[in-house]
Chains A and B, each alone.
Chain A
Amino acid sequence: MTKTENVLRAIEEAGNTEDKLIEVLLKVQERSRENYITENQLEEISQELEIPLSKVYGVASFYSLLSTHRRGENVIQICNSGPCYVRGSRNVVNMFESALGIKMGEVTDDGKFSLEFTSCIGSCDVAPAAKINEEVCGNLDKKKIDEIINNIREGVK
C-alpha cells in the first residue's frame, strides 16, 4: 500500500473532520510495519483534514501511543512512572537493552524490536511493567524478559 493510499483509507474509515485527527493517526500507524507515522504522512493528513502541520505533528508527538520516529515491528514500552521506578524499572531497562543489543529509543538491526519509555500504563499492581505491542506484562525479571523476547522471535506470539 502506498503512503497516500494508507492515509486516504484511514480518513475514509475515520472521517475527514478535525476531531478525527487522533483516530486517523492511529489507523495510519497501525498499517505501518514500522509502527510510526512518516513526515510525508503527517503532511498528507494535515492537508486532508485541513489542520496546520504544526498541530498534526504536535498531537502525534504528544501521545506515547503514537510515534513520529521509525520503530520496530514489536514496540516495547517500559513504564517510567513512579511506582515502576521504585520497583526497579531501571533494571528492566538494562535487561531489555542487553537482551536486544540496543539502547532505549533504538531499533534492532533486523527491525523486529524497538525500545522506548511510556508514562504510567495503570499496572502499578504488577510493577515493574512494560507494554509489548498491545499487551501489558508485569512483575518483570530477567527470566520473563528473555521469555517474552524468545516467544516473539520464534513467532509463538
Chain B
Amino acid sequence: MSKVDINIDGINISVEEGTTILEATKELNIDIPTLCYHPDQTIKGSCRVCVVDIENQVNLSAACCTPVWAGIKIRTNTKKAREARKLVLDLILADHNQECLSCVRNGNCELQDLCMELNIRDTKIEKINHKLPIDDSNPSIVRDESKCIKCGRCITACHDVQGVGAIYNVDRGSHMRISTPPGKKLNEIPCVYCGQCINVCPVGAIYENNDIQKVWNALDDESKHVVVQIAPAIRVSLGEEFGEEPGSIVTGKIVSFFNRVGFDKVFDTNFTADLTIIEEGHEFLHRLNNGGKLPMFTSCSPGWVRYVEYFYPELLENVSSCKSPQQMFGALVKSYYAQKNNIDPKDIVVVSIMPCTAKKAEAVREEMNDSGYQDVDIVLTTRELGQMIKESRIMIKELPEEEFDNPLGISTGAAAIFGATGGVMEAALRTVYEVVTGEELSNIDFVSLRGIDGCKEATVKVGDLDVNVAVANGLENARKILDMVKEGKADYHFIEIMCCPGGCIGGGGQPILGTNEIKEKRIKAIYDIDSMSKLRKSHENPVVKALYEEFLKEPLGEKSHKLLHTHYSPKS
C-alpha cells in the first residue's frame, strides 16, 4: 500500500494510505481522547469526543473514523477542538447518572478519566433526569440504564462478537436507549450471561451481580466450613486489579490472602479440571467406540452451554455430559471431601472465584444439586475478588506465596491451560492419546491449537485413528463451526468451544479493559504455568488417581454419573 505525507501538530510524518487520524496520532505519541472507540471493535464514530481540527476545513472531524489524505494538516490541540470535546462531555453528563461515589466503576471509568483529563469543572447544560430502570433480574448481570452513555460497545460485543443479540438501540434521537426488547428483562430473553458487554462498557452501566457480602457473611459464621476454589484464569489476571503487569502470575498471593481472611480450605479448580479431562476423555472414547453422537463438544463454559440450549437445541446430544470443573468441585466437596473429613455437607459453603459472570447462573441451575445441596454456593468474579481484597485492606503485593491445601489443591499443567482457548482440547489430547495407545506422548505441546484466533483445527493420530479436532472461542466463531456440523459439512470428532474471546482469560468477569493485547499476555502466562509444572498430564495427577481408587472407582462409573455429569434442556 502506498504512503502519504501528512502533518500533525506541525510534525511531518509518512503513513500508509487509509490510516485513520487516530492511528496516525498514535505513531507520534499524541493522545487523542476517545470514548466509543475500542481497539478490538469496529469503528463507531458516534461519541465525537475525538474531534480534531483540519486546516482549510470549517468543521471538526472525528479522528477515529477519518482516514488521512496526502497533504492533510491536522491540529489536535486547538481551542475549537478542546471546546468541542468539552461540549460533547457536557452533553453526555447532562444525561448521565453521576452517582460516582457509589458506582461499581468508581476509579476505573473512562468517562471519569476524560472529565478529569479534559478539565471539566462545571457543567452548563441542564440535566435531564430520565427515570430509568435497573435490571437485576438474573444471577449474573445487572444493567443500569441511567449510567449508559450510548457508545454502543456492548451492542457490538453482543451482536458481532457473540452473535447473541440480546440488546440493541431502542428509539431515536435523545430518547435513544440501549435495551432489551420491549418490556423484557435479561432473564426473559436469550442472554447467555457471558458478560462481554461488561468488559467493554466504558462506564458503570453494566456490571456483575455483586455477591461479595455473601462471602464475608459466610466467613463470619463460625458454624460454617468455608472452602474456596479459584479458576485457572484468575491467577494470571487478578494482578491487573492491583497495577501489576498483565500476565503477572499471582497464584501464591491469592492463596495467602484466602488464608488470612479465614477460609477453612483453599483449593483449586485446576484439580477438577484434571478430573474433567479424565471423565471427558473417557466419554469421548466411549462415544467413539460405541457409535455415540459425534462430534462431541466440550461443556466447561456455561455461556456456551446456555448458547447451545437457546440457539442450537438440536445439537444438545453432542455436548459432553461432563459438568464444568467448577460444578464437579462443588459436588465433590459436599460428598467426597465432607465424608473424608467428617463434616456435615450442610455446614459447608463452597465459594468459587471465576473469570466469568455466567458461572453465577450455572451455580444456581437446578441440575447442580447432586450432592444433596446446592453444589456451589457463591461465585465471585475476578473483579469482585479484587474488590474484596481492597475492602480487607490486606496489601496483597506484600503477602508471601503460599500453597493450595491438600487434596483438592493438587493439579497439573494440563489443568492450568483450561484458562486459554484451545487448552481443554490440548489437555484432553495429552490424556486421550496415552489412554488409547498406552504409549508416552513425545510432544505434548499442541501449538496449532493455541493463540487468540477465533477458529483453530488440527488432526492428531491416536493409534490407528486420525482424530480431527476443532477449537472455537467467541460465540460468533462457534456459530460458524456449529452451522457446518448441523449441515453435515464438518468431519470433526471433538470440538472445544469457549464462549468468550480468548477463552476464560477473556471472560466477562475479568479485569477491565481486557483488550486483545492484554489477553495475549494472560494466555502466555497460562502456558508458562503449564511449562513450569512438574506434571503436565491430567491422568498423572496423584490425587485424581487416589480419588478414583478411594471413591469414584472408575471414569464414567456410577458415582461419576451421579456427581460429575449432568444434562441439558432446550431453552428456545
- A residues near B (Cβ < 8 Å) are 39, 42, 51-58, 61-64, 68, 119
Contact = CB atoms under 8 A, between A and B. Distances in A.
B312 interface: no
Nearest to A54: B168
A54 B180 contact: yes
B134 to A, nearest CB: 18
B72 to A, nearest CB: 33
Main secondary structure of the interface of A (DSSP, over half): helix
Most central of A42, A61, A63, A68 by chain B CB within 10 Å: A61
Interface stretch (B119-127, B169-177, B356-364, B468-476): B169-177
B172 A54 contact: no
B164 interface: yes
Contacts of B169: 58, 62
A109 B181 CA distance: 28
B167 interface: yes
A39 B183 contact: yes
B181 A42 contact: yes
Contacts of B167: 54
Contacts of B166: 52, 54
23 contacts: A39-B181, A39-B182, A42-B181, A52-B159, A52-B164, A52-B165, A52-B166, A53-B181, A53-B189, A54-B181, A54-B189, A55-B159, A56-B181, A57-B168, A57-B181, A57-B182, A58-B169, A58-B170, A61-B170, A61-B171, A64-B172, A68-B182, A119-B173
Contacts of A52: 159, 164-166, 168
A55 B168 contact: yes
Contacts of A62: 169, 171-172
Nearest to A39: B182
9 closest A-B pairs (Cβ-Cβ)?
A: A52-B165, A54-B168, A58-B168, A53-B181, A57-B181, A58-B169, A61-B171, A55-B168, A62-B172
A57 B170 contact: yes
A27 B173 CA distance: 25
A31 B182 CA distance: 22
Contacts of B182: 39, 42, 57, 68
Interface of B: 159, 164-173, 179-183, 189
A144 B167 CA distance: 44
B159 A61 contact: no
Contacts of B173: 119
B480 to A, nearest CB: 15
Most central of B159, B164, B165, B173 by chain A CB within 10 Å: B165
A55 B170 contact: no
Most central of B168, B179, B180, B189 by chain A CB within 10 Å: B168
A64 B175 CA distance: 13
Nearest to A56: B181
A54 B166 CA distance: 6
A68 B172 CA distance: 13
Nearest to A62: B172
Most central of B172, B173, B180 by chain A CB within 10 Å: B172
Contacts of B180: 54
A53 B169 CA distance: 11
A144 to B, nearest CB: 28
Nearest to B191: A54
Given A61-B171, A61-B172, A64-B172, 16 more contacts: A39-B182, A39-B183, A42-B181, A42-B182, A52-B159, A52-B165, A52-B168, A53-B181, A53-B189, A54-B167, A54-B168, A54-B179, A55-B159, A55-B168, A62-B172, A119-B173
Contacts of A119: 173
Nearest to A52: B165
A80 B297 CA distance: 55
Nearest to B572: A47
A155 B179 CA distance: 41
Contacts of A39: 181-183
Contacts of B164: 52
B570 to A, nearest CB: 15
Nearest to B171: A61
A129 B337 CA distance: 77
Contacts of A58: 168-170
Most central of B165, B180, B181, B183 by chain A CB within 10 Å: B181
B93 to A, nearest CB: 25
A58 B180 CA distance: 9
A55 B171 contact: no
A62 B176 CA distance: 8
B160 to A, nearest CB: 12
B526 to A, nearest CB: 33
Contacts of B165: 51-55
A142 B444 CA distance: 85
A7 to B, nearest CB: 16
A63 B183 CA distance: 19
B562 to A, nearest CB: 38
A57 B180 CA distance: 9
A84 to B, nearest CB: 16
Contacts of A54: 165-168, 179-181, 189
A126 to B, nearest CB: 24
A61 B171 CA distance: 5
Nearest to A42: B181
A12 B284 CA distance: 44
A98 to B, nearest CB: 26
A54 B168 CA distance: 5
A64 B171 CA distance: 9
A56 B159 CA distance: 13
A62 B167 CA distance: 14
A57 B170 CA distance: 7
A22 to B, nearest CB: 14
Contacts of A55: 159, 165, 168
A81 to B, nearest CB: 11
Contacts of B172: 61-64
Contacts of B181: 39, 42, 53-54, 56-57
